[in-house]
Chain A
Amino acid sequence: MLESTILLPLMIGLLALFLPPRFGRVLLVATAGAHLLLTFMIWLGTPQPLFPDFFNKANPGMLVVLVTSFIFACAAPYAVFYMKEQKIRKERIFLGCMLLFLGTMSMAALAENLVVFWIAIEATTLASAPLIFVHRSKQALEATWKYVLICSVGIALALLGFFFITFSMEQAGLNQSLTFSTLNRIAPQLDKLWLKTGFIFVCIGFGTKMGLAPMHTWLPDAHSEAPSPASGLLSGALLNCAFLGIYKVHTIMALAGLGMFSSNLLISFGLFSILVAGIFILNQPDYKRMLAYSSIENMGIIALGVGIGGMGLFGAMLHLIHHSLLKTSLFLSAGNIMLAFGSKLISQCSHMPRLLPKTFGCFFVGCLGIAGLPPFGLFLSEVLILFGAFQQGRPVIAILFVLLLILVIAGFSRGALAMSFGQANDQATILIREQTSRVLPPLALLLASIMLCFWLPEPLRQTISDSIIILGGSIHG
């Protein structure tokens, strides 16, 4: 059954909360593998949903669950080896919450009912809060507090948005079940005013969780204070789930004939996010915060691509996949760098090619990729979004997009180069040496992204096409 991808990590996660860490570690890696296997089986079409009103195989959700599962399968073994080097109390809480986090994210990706989706998103916040809090420092405390409070308020507003959408259905005199597919079907009959109001609240609510500016304030803190495997999952998997909520309601809006309104809202949020990220990346002394701001930028690009539509939609979906793979890879490499230098400051990293050759390779290539240089996937998706913008008759937005991208690339490459080739400290030594076990996971993610640039498997391409066709998007525009 489809629900096993949700139940398995949830059950084992609850179990791992109470077991000693040496069992928990094994369970974490084994469950990650099993989850990936189950996800592949869903893709092949075998398990069917047990409660089709609550969970279903909707297209963009399938994409998100695949990305999430793959990233988790790479981050889980890394987390085990990473945590060995760190002295933390209550490792079992960390291991259990990682699995609960996976379960709630799968639940969000596969949710079909509006309120079930909402429950899942709020649950991801709650499952990931202990992950940020692992180090128990004052900074971690502050980051967790901001994360839980800001995201909970945001998500509560999204619930209000869902209530308004339900109300728009009642206003139209319809009494149907509250599922995304039903709403897509009856979208043209929905009450326009309340649907619009609902979309605004959903956009602000899940936008908070997705890290769209100006609601992004929790994101850099949480991503920089969490241990690296958790940061990678927050950035690579969680943000996609929140995006899914906005995307699904945007689809309803488009089918109801309000596509212009929601597109413009998404484009504004998108451009503003890229701008804010660009400004804060420019003089960022902390490399984990730099990566976090880069996530805000990339989420902005995805929102922009969806808002533009047409070819931009394909670009946005491609961007989502590549950003997740590359950013998680970068966060895992950043974890190795942090273990080695014992600091999150860019200025403290020096002589990386000599001291940490393997990590350096992974990190540097990942930086080239995330900056959107050819031949990496993000270059392709950004070009698609750009073409889409011209094609949809929005040249001003295309030009703004290019200018903002230049700003981001300038800031990001400055930080990345300073880190990679910094020679500030000739006596630099490393605290913890790099290990193959901690280099392989980021390498696997990096290679997966590079592979997808040259060869997009047919089922994947088909799923992307199927999930954007409803909005009139296609690879050909």
Chain B
Amino acid sequence: MSAGIEISLAIILLSVLFSLSSSRLMTLIKLMALQGALVSLLPVLLNSANKLPPGGIALFLIMLLIKAILIPALLYFALTRMAIRREVEPLIGYHASVVVGLGLILLATYLSRYLQYSAPGVLALMPITAITALGGGLFLMMSRTKALTQVIGYLMLDNGIYLMGTALIKRTHSHYLVELGVLLDLLVAVMIMGIILNNINRAFDDVDTLDLEQLKD
């Protein structure tokens, strides 16, 4: 099963890089759906040796529903109401962004060596992917001006943190109900962001966060 895990992780890594180079908002949403599905699948793959309890299966299905279907669908509907389809003028260009992404992978590889010392049991690619997704998400939020791209950056950051949690923590600590709460928070957060997105679109005829600079000191 190890091959399946590594392939999934590699696809997540590539999806981070791809999202940094893509200007089409629709592509970004599709990438988030793919990432969400893989991130939900990973805990199942990691635990494939032992049989999953019913609670674990239910949680996996709910997570798949929220991360791979509901959230991308919400973003899709937000997008259909907007006039824009592309991120036109990113603060940092696409080629430069990919270079930053590659740099992030290097940094992540360096950082996860510390993790290897403390926890040799952890699959090497796991923290690398987690840190790259985390950093990529943060970078996307800072370097893009469309509000929708910033939401996608937040989701990627969240995926990275979740992957980090999966890499570090054994399942015995987590409680299904608690994990469900975390997921619910994420879903509601994206819903509220979607509502604000809609209102920004209506008020400014655009979702550019550069318009949002009236409040300052």
A119:B200 contact, CB within 8 angstroms: no
B215 interface residue per 8 A CB criterion: yes
A170: min CB distance to chain B, Å? 6
Residue total for A at the interface (Cβ-Cβ under 8 A) = 49
B157:A156 contact, CB within 8 angstroms: yes
Using CB atoms, name the residue of chain A closest to B117.
A193
* Interface SS of A by simple majority: helix
How far does the alpha carbon of A178 sit from the alpha carbon of B134 in the complex, in Å? 24
Q: Inside 8 A of B51's CB, which chain A residues have their CB?
A: none
B192:A148 contact, CB within 8 angstroms: yes
How far does the alpha carbon of A272 sit from the alpha carbon of B176 in the complex, in Å? 40
Q: Inside 8 A of A280's CB, which chain B residues have their CB?
A: 217
How far does the alpha carbon of A160 sit from the alpha carbon of B165 in the complex, in Å? 7
B196:A119 contact, CB within 8 angstroms: no
Q: Which of B165, B172, B181 is A116 in contact with, Cβ under 8 Å?
A: B181
B96 interface residue per 8 A CB criterion: no
Q: Inside 8 A of A358's CB, which chain B residues have their CB?
A: none
Kindly count the residue-residue contacts between A and B in the assembled complex, taking CB atoms under 8 Å apart.
Answer: 115
How far does the alpha carbon of A113 sit from the alpha carbon of B203 in the complex, in Å? 41
A315 interface residue per 8 A CB criterion: no
A145:B147 contact, CB within 8 angstroms: yes
Interface residues as binary, B34-69 with A (CB distance below 8 Å gives 1, 0 otherwise): 000000000000000000000000000000000000
Q: Inside 8 A of B161's CB, which chain A residues have their CB?
A: 156-157, 159-160, 163
Using CB atoms, name the residue of chain A closest to B204.
A138
How far does the alpha carbon of A149 sit from the alpha carbon of B217 in the complex, in Å? 20
B124 interface residue per 8 A CB criterion: no
How far does the alpha carbon of A407 sit from the alpha carbon of B217 in the complex, in Å? 18
How far does the alpha carbon of A163 sit from the alpha carbon of B173 in the complex, in Å? 11
B154 interface residue per 8 A CB criterion: yes
B102 interface residue per 8 A CB criterion: no
Using CB atoms, name the residue of chain B closest to A138.
B203
Using CB atoms, name the residue of chain B closest to A191.
B118
A421 interface residue per 8 A CB criterion: no
With A119-B178, A119-B181, A149-B150 given, is the CB distance from A164 to B168 under 8 Å? yes
Using CB atoms, name the residue of chain A closest to B193.
A148
B158 interface residue per 8 A CB criterion: yes
Q: Inside 8 A of B134's CB, which chain A residues have their CB?
A: 160
B119 interface residue per 8 A CB criterion: yes
Q: Inside 8 A of B147's CB, which chain A residues have their CB?
A: 145
A148:B214 contact, CB within 8 angstroms: no
Q: Which of B141, B164, B217 is A163 in contact with, Cβ under 8 Å?
A: B164
